[in-house]
Structure 1
C-alpha cells in the first residue's frame, strides 16, 4: 500500500471484538515480570486489582491499546522482535507480529484514531535508519509497509489530539549482533519528529549542540498537543543535565531543570501529564524518584521518593505511577499507595485504557 494512502484507507474500525466496556473493570495496562522471570501483560485497576494477566514470550516494555476494541498489543523490549495482540476480554492471542528479518521493535506503538492501523517503532539496523511499521488491524494485523521515522533509534510514537503523530528519535545506533551496545554516541543526533496522516514529515526539532547526547526517549501530550519529553543522558556525568523538555509545534525545544535532577542518575523512565493539564510527572526508576513540574511554565515542583518509580500514566485523579509493590495515584501534593498482590516487577511504562 502506498504510504500516502495507508491512514486514509477505510472508515472507522468495525467492532469485531468486544469493546473495553465489556471487560471486568480495568484502568491501566503494564508489562510485568514475576519471580522466576515469567513475563506478562497485566491489567490493573485504580484499586490495585489485577482483572487479567496474559503471558508473553519475553520481557515486555510498553503496550498499545486499541481505541475501541478490547485489544492490546504487548511489545518486546529492544532488541526484541515480537509483539503480541491480545483479546483482553477472553485472554486469547489474536495475532503475533514478527518484525521483518532486518528489523527489530523498540517496545512502542500507536493506533490511528479509528483503530484501523497500528504503527510500530523499528530499527532498520543494517542501513542504519529508523522506520515506522504499518500493520492493518482489520486484516489480522498484516504488515502493509513502512515509512522513515526521520532519524535513528525511534523509540516511542504517540498520536496527538489532532491525529498527527510525534516520534521520539533517540539518536542511538544499535545492532542486534552487539546486543544493547550503543554504537554511535560521539555522533548521535536525537530529534523529535512530527508526521502527518500520509507519513510525511511536518516538523523536526533537535537539541542544541551541548545537549546532543541527550537521547529523546519517551513522550506524553496534553489536550492542546503540547508534548512533554523524557530524556536519557549519554554523555559524561553532568549533575544538572536536564532530563525533561517540552515542545509546542512551531517553537524550539524548551529544556527544563530541577534542583534534584541529579537524583535520577541521568535516566528518566516515563512521563505523564496530569488529567487537568497542570502537572508533569517524570519518573526516575534508577534513582527512586518522581519529579513534578508545572506543565504551563516548566517550573520545578515537588519531589517524591518512591521505590522503583517506573511507569506513569494520566488518570482522573492526576497521574498514576507504578512503584515497588503497587501503584501511586494522585498529585504531587497528595497521593495514595495502592498495593498490588503478586510480587510484580514493573517495566518502565503504564498505559491508561480508554474510558469505558
Structure 2
C-alpha cells in the first residue's frame, strides 16, 4: 500500500469509519518479510500473492522473522537473534505501537506466534544464565504486557508455530545454548539435545527427540500443514556428512520421520537449512540453503527428495499457488511450481531469512 493511501485509510480508522480493520484493508498481503534497503535502513514489508511489495515500514535494526496477528493487520517484527527487542507494527497506519523488551536475563530468538484469537503472543526466549529455553507470554489487549513465561521443553528454542484450529504450540528447541556476552558463539555443541516440544496452556504435552546419533542436528525452523503435520528443518553441527536435514512429525507419534536424500544432495546444502514451508497440497515441503544456494523439494508421502533448484543466497520460502515463493538475499523473488521456476527481480530489497505467509488461519 502506498504511503498516501495508508495515511488516508488510517484517517478513516481514526474517525471510526473502519470499525474493525482486517488484512484486506492493507491490500491483502500474502506475506511478510524483513529486508535491508539500499541506504542501509531496515524495513518490514508486506508482499502480495503476485510478489509485489505493498508496503514497507521502518525497523530500528535488522529483522529476522515476524508474526501476523490473526484478527487485524498488525505484525510483530523480531530482531535477528540473539536480540532483546521486538516491534509491534500497525500495518494500516505504518506506526510502531509497542516495543517488546526481553526481561533481564532473557533474549529473543527471532520468532513468535499468536493464539488463534489474537489475544496472546508467544515468543521463544533464552534464560541465558540457566541455559534453558523459555516461552514468553504477552497479553495483547493490555498493550503487549508480559504476563508469564513457560518452559520451552528444551534448550535454545528458535521457531514456534501454532497447530491449525488449536492453541497448541510446537516449538523447535535447537538444543544449542548461547549467551549475549558471547554473541552468536555456540556454547554446548558436545552435549546439545534438540527436540520438538508440544505445549498447551503452559504444559509440555509431548517431546519428540532425534536419535542420539543425530544430537548435533539442531532443529531450527518449522512449517505446519493445514492438517497439522509438522515439518522441521535442521542445521548440522557434527563432523562428517549429515544423514538428513528435514524431518516430519505428527503430534502423538512416537518419533520423527527423517526425509531421505542422496549424500551428494545433502552435501550441497552445506549442512544448513534456512527456511522451510509446505506447498498448498500439504504434501511437498521446500527447504532453502543460503550457504548452498539451493532450494530442495521433498515429497513427504514417499519420504524423499524430488527436486532441487539453484537459487543464489536462497533465504525465505512460503507456500504459493502451485508450489512455493522464495526470496533471495540478493534481492530477488522466485516461484517454484510443479513444472517450472520463474523469477522476478527487485533491486530495492535485500531479503532476510524468512518469508512469513499470512495464511487463512491468520486472516
- The answer to whether the Cα contact below 8 Å between 2:259 and 2:300 also exists between their aligned partners in 1 is no
CA contact (8 A) 2:35 2:352 kept: yes
Residue 54 of structure 1 deviates from its aligned partner by 1.2
Contact conserved, 1:48 with 1:326, CA < 8 A, in 2? no
Task: State the 1:346 CA deviation.
Answer: 1.4
Q: 2:159 aligns with which of 156, 164, 173?
A: 156
SS of the counterpart of 2:88? Answer: strand
User: Do structure 1's residue 326 and structure 2's residue 332 form an aligned pair?
Assistant: yes
Q: Which has the higher contact order (CA 8 A, sep 6+)?
A: 1
Q: Secondary structure at the match of 1:349?
A: coil
Which residue of the other structure, out of 195, 199, 205, is the alignment partner of 1:191?
Answer: 195
More deviation in 108-117 or 223-232? 223-232
The equivalent residue for 1:349 is 354
Residue 273 (1) aligns with residue 275 (2) = no
- TM-score normalised by the chain length of structure 1: 0.92
Q: Equivalent residue for 1:246?
A: 248
**What's 2:146 paired with?**
143
Give yes or no for contact 2:134–2:149 (8 Å, CA) kept in 1: yes
Report SS of the residue matched to 1:311. Answer: strand
Residue deviations 1:85-128 (CA, integer Å, cap 9, x gap): 10101101111101001101000000000000000000010111
Does 2:189 align with 1:220?
A: no
User: What are the Cα deviations for residues 145-196 of structure 1, in whole angstroms up to 9, with x where unaligned?
Assistant: 1110001100011001142110000000000001110000001111100011
* 2:190 match: secondary structure: helix
Cα deviation, residue 332, structure 1: 4.8
- Residue-pair matches, total: 339
RMSD: 1.5
**C-alpha distance in 2, partners of 1:264/1:332?**
21
TM-score normalized by the length of structure 2: 0.90
1:261 aligns with 2:263: no
The equivalent of 1:301 in structure 2 is 306
8 A Cα contact 1:302 1:333, kept in partner: no
State the match for 1:168 in structure 2: 172
CA contact (8 A) 1:49 1:340 kept: no
Q: CA contact under 8 A between 2:322 and 2:338: conserved in structure 1?
A: no
Residues 25-50 of structure 1: CA distance to partner in whole angstroms, max 9, x if unpaired? 42211011123432111111233322
- Deviation of residue 17 (structure 1)? 5.8
Q: Following the alignment from structure 2 to structure 1, what is the Cα–Cα distance between the partners of residues 322 and 89?
A: 28
Q: CA deviation at 1:56?
A: 1.1
- Determine if contact 2:116/2:165 at 8 Å carries over to the other structure: no
TM-superposed deviation, 1:318:
2.0
Higher helix share: 2
Query: Which of these residues, 266, 291, 297, is aligned with residue 296 of structure 2?
Result: 291
Match of residue 114 from structure 1: 117
